[in-house]
């Protein structure tokens, strides 16, 4: 029960990301500057925790591991943050969250192609459900009147792909490196990329109200450091598969907040599409033994 509560808390925290991002966008903050602050401050928080609790020796990794940690951070953190927060800016909070949850379907396909993990009927159904759900959310049933532009649909799906790649790229080293160490290196590489991307728009962070700076700090410390800490604790109690199922509350929280607080449009077909995507995310966690 404690593990499930921790995962649900982490997913609920992440579900509020889009709402707070929209508030900062309205004040002129660029999405590049926002994600750079979130990643950099989040990395410092994780690094400080590791140094205080486990010492500097914990951060030593083999040189060969850096060849995996670098793309993990650059793609799974850097590109993912840029794509997801751009999608939030250009669409609704709920739509961005649903597109993000194409990630489990991408993981199924990538793990089959590159990690030689077997497919089962449940995983194939998960991919089909995800495709159908995203088609409904995007309004693909009426190509002449799409609810999202092709560019936003592409960036939303790519955010799901890069999010899924974090799990695929991290799997080879997850067996001998702790999640906190992996996250610290991933955030370090991701932060470097995001800082470079944000350089032209860092001036959008100047002259904000004190409440906005507090919100930026919260997005970094709470949504990054605390969120990942809760999720990691939950995985240790539940296992990755069950934790991923509980984490599907994230798009639900995002969608509800978008409708309730931002007056975002929500149609019956979008709700159905969201349910299909969430169902696909759950099915993607079914192991071959359970499928039989």
* Residue 145 DSSP code: G
CA-CA-CA-CA torsion sign (149, 155, 158, 164): negative
Contact 74, 65 (CB under 8 A): no
pLDDT of residue 292: 46
How far are the Cα atoms of 2, 172, 212, 243 from residue 8, in angstroms, in the given order?
10, 26, 26, 9
Contact 8, 230 (CB under 8 A): no
pLDDT of residue 291: 47
pLDDT of residue 76: 92
User: What is the 3-state secondary structure of 235-252?
Assistant: HHHHCHHHHHHHCCHHHH
Q: What is the mean pLDDT of the chain?
A: 88
Q: How far apart are CA 129 and CA 280, in angstroms?
A: 5
Q: Which of 5-14, 162-171, 182-191, 193-202 has the lowest mean pLDDT?
A: 162-171
Give pLDDT tens digits for 42-97.
899 889 888 888 888 888 899 889 999 999 999 999 999 999 999 999 999 999 99
Q: Which of 75, 138, 110 lies closest to 277, judged by CA?
A: 138
Residue 189: give the domain boundaries. Answer: 2-291
pLDDT of residue 289: 53
Contact 98, 251 (CB under 8 A): yes
Contact 109, 157 (CB under 8 A): no
pLDDT of residue 59: 87
What domain count does the chain have?
1
**Residue 283 scores a pLDDT above 60:** yes
- The arithmetic mean of pLDDT across residues 208-236, rounded, is 86
HSE, CB side, 13 Å, CA atoms: give it for residue 156. 27
**Residue 251 scores a pLDDT above 50:** yes
């Amino acid at each position: 029960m404690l593990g499930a509560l921790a995962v649900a808390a982490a997913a609920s925290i992440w579900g509020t990301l889009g709402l707070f991002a929209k508030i900062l966008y309205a004040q002129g903050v660029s999405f590049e500057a926002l994600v750079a602050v979130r990643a950099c401050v989040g990395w410092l928080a994780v690094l400080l925790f590791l140094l205080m609790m486990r010492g500097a020796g914990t951060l030593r990794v083999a040189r060969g591991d850096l060849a995996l940690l670098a793309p993990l951070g650059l793609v799974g953190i850097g590109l993912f943050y840029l794509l997801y927060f751009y999608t939030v800016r250009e669409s609704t909070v709920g739509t961005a969250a649903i597109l993000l949850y194409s990630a489990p379907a991408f993981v199924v396909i990538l793990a089959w192609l590159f990690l030689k993990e077997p497919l089962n009927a449940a995983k194939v159904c998960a991919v089909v459900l995800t495709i159908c759900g995203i088609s409904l959310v995007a309004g693909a049933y009426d190509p002449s009147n799409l609810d999202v532009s092709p560019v936003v649909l592409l960036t939303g799906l790519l955010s799901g792909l890069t999010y899924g790649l974090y799990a695929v790229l991290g799997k080879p080293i997850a067996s001998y490196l702790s999640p906190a160490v992996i996250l610290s290196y991933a955030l370090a590489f991701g932060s470097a990329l995001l800082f470079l991307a944000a350089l032209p728009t860092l001036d959008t962070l100047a002259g904000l109200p004190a409440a906005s700076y507090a919100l930026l700090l919260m997005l970094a410390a709470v949504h990054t450091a605390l969120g990942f800490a809760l999720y990691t604790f939950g995985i240790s109690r539940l296992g990755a598969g069950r934790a991923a199922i509980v984490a599907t509350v994230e798009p639900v929280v995002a969608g509800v907040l978008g409708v309730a607080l931002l007056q975002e449009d929500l149609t019956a077909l979008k709700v159905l599409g969201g349910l299909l995507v969430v169902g696909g995310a759950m099915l993607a966690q079914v192991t071959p033994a359970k499928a039989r």
